Structure 1
Amino acid sequence: MLMPYKTILIDDEPISINRIKRLLKEYDDTFEIIGEALNGQEGLEMIEDLRPDLIFLDIEMPILTGFEMLERLTFMPIVIFVTAYDQFAIKAFEENSIDYLLKPIEKSRLDKAVQKLQKFTENQSVQLSIDSLQSLTELLKPKKDIHSISVKQGDKILIIALQDIAFFQADDKYVFLHTLDNKQYITNYTISNLTEKLPSHFIRISRSSIVNGNQIRELEKHFSGKYLVALNDSKRTKLETGISYHDNLKRFSL
């Protein structure tokens, strides 16, 4: 990739954007700022329109968070996060080979980010997959203590206990809840919503599937390094994993 990198700054705090711009002036030969956005929706539209090489991305923003914006992209630039997350959460960024700048941004830390970027470029591995970014989302989003999911059936609202759910699966515009006794219901959630809402024993195994880890019967090796997750529901369902989600299964099985 030729330098300078065409760069977009996305942050809902103008002060933060101005600070990044000041710090980047020292790297005119590395970064060319071609746009600024103050929320995730503006960032999404700007990225799709301008196709930058790289973005500096805040996480907590109005309209769309940084993660929600990334999940909607059809074009994936290099991502350097600008974050206020604590040191524990930041380990997830490091493990996923995504660089980050902790607010308030220090020049010395930016220097290291630039060095890391140059190494990535030399190794031709700067672009990260959308799957990897979604996997990172799961590591950082808090889980809430819930015990059921409500679904509509005609004029009724049914309450489905989590223990009776085998898996969730996205199909086109809808996400379906599948029970252990082979019933299926349309939910009002996205897979990303459910990832945030469900407790930790529900495991996202691909971009389109979340399984009840307590109902996993076995894992079977599949093609291209993937696995088939066999469940204990009445249909003995088998779902294929996404490679970037294998760590979710590993953490659950430890």
Structure 2
Amino acid sequence: MSARLRVLIVDDARLARRELRTLLEALPWVECVGEADDVPAARAAIARLHPDLLLLDVQMPSGSGFDVLDGLECVPAVVFVTAYDQYAVQAFDANALDYLVKPVAAERLHAALEKARERVRHPATAAPATTAREKLGAEDQVFLREGERCWFVALGEISRVVVDGNYARLWFRDQNALLARSLSALEARLEPALFFRANRNTLVNLRMVRAVEPSIADGYELTLKDGSRVEVSRRQARELRERLAL
């Protein structure tokens, strides 16, 4: 993170963006790196600018704030800013830092920005977005969405990733959600020291392995901290032994 908190404003209303920018200008430790007025522009700006924090409207003509986050490889910290308080429960279920209702009071915004600064300073809790094509590590977070439920999840919290049709299902915190990416695409972006391809259908977080037992056909059976069991194929057994020095 830079010395200043880098903020991207996403709101379809020009006056709302101007109001937020004016409030941010009063804080010398905050830098507004850009604005976006719809979902496609916001996603492009995130990819280009890599902000530390999004001030994100929920309801826009081109989609929702949740649509902005859906499918991003790595998600910045998020504070939702909206005129509609009925989205608050969904926002906090997603583990947003804060939820501000318009018109935004300077004191409430300042408090939310302080939360964001603290979060970004301590990436073990949540990390800012990484630059394109870097490997994603345990502290990077992804946004997951299944129906009306949403989550921000640090990759280190994910115990396993399993093929689900053309996509991948991620298991975390005794829950699971579908991510619209193939297992191979995810494997290419994840830090190999963290995630291991146990078999054709499963990636395993090695930090979540509680026990390793020999299995049939010279493979292994892994018991994870959540109690789930994963078979390691014979083909992958040698690599596992090297990874874990068995």
TM-score by length of 2: 0.53
Aligned 8 A contact 2:145 2:177 in 1: no
Residue 166 of structure 2: which of 161, 171, 174 is its match?
171
Equivalent residue of 1:207, what SS? strand
1:103 aligns with 2:102: yes
Listed one character per residue, the Cα deviations across residues 150-192 of structure 1 (whole Å, up to 9, x for unaligned) are xxxxxxxxxxxxxxxxxxx5514xx9xxxxxxxxxxxxxxx9x
Q: Which residue of 2 aligns with 1:163?
A: none
Structure 1 Cα separation of the partners of residues 126 and 16 of structure 2: 24
Q: Counterpart of 1:80 in 2: which secondary structure?
A: strand
More helix by share: 1
| 2:162 is equivalent to residue 205 of structure 1 | no
Over the matched positions of the two proteins, sequence identity in percent amounts to: 27
Kindly provide the CA deviation profile for residues 53-96 of structure 1, in whole angstroms up to 9, marking residues without a partner as x: 22111111122321112113223222111123326x42454452
- Count of aligned pairs: 158
Instruction: Output the CA distance in 2 between the equivalents of 1:136 and 1:15.
Output: 32
Contact 2:38 2:62 in 1 (8 A): yes
Given residue 6 of structure 2, which amino acid in structure 1 is its aligned partner?
K
Evaluate the alpha carbon distance shift between residue 205 and residue 38 of structure 1 in structure 2; reply closer, same or farther with a 3 A threshold: same
Write out aligned runs for 1:28-67 (5 A).
29-67=28-66
CA deviation map 1:101-157 (0-9, x unaligned): 2111111211211222233234332437324x53695169xxxxxxxxxxxxxxxxx
- 1:225 aligns with 226
Residues in 1 aligned to 2:68 and 2:97: alpha-carbon distance in whole angstroms = 16
What is the SS of the residue equivalent to 1:117?
helix
Q: Compute the TM-score of the two structures, normalised by the length of structure 1.
A: 0.52
Partner of 1:129: 141
Gap runs ≥5 in structure 1: 141-168, 176-190, 192-203, 210-221, 229-254
Deviation of the 1:225 alpha carbon: 2.7
Over 3 Å counting, the alpha-carbon distance change for 1:107 and 1:8 in structure 2 is same
Q: What is the match of residue 215 of structure 2?
A: none
Deviation at 1:223, TM superposition (A): 2.1
Distance 2:149 2:43 in 1: 20
Aligned to 2:20: 20
Amino acid aligned to 1:171: N
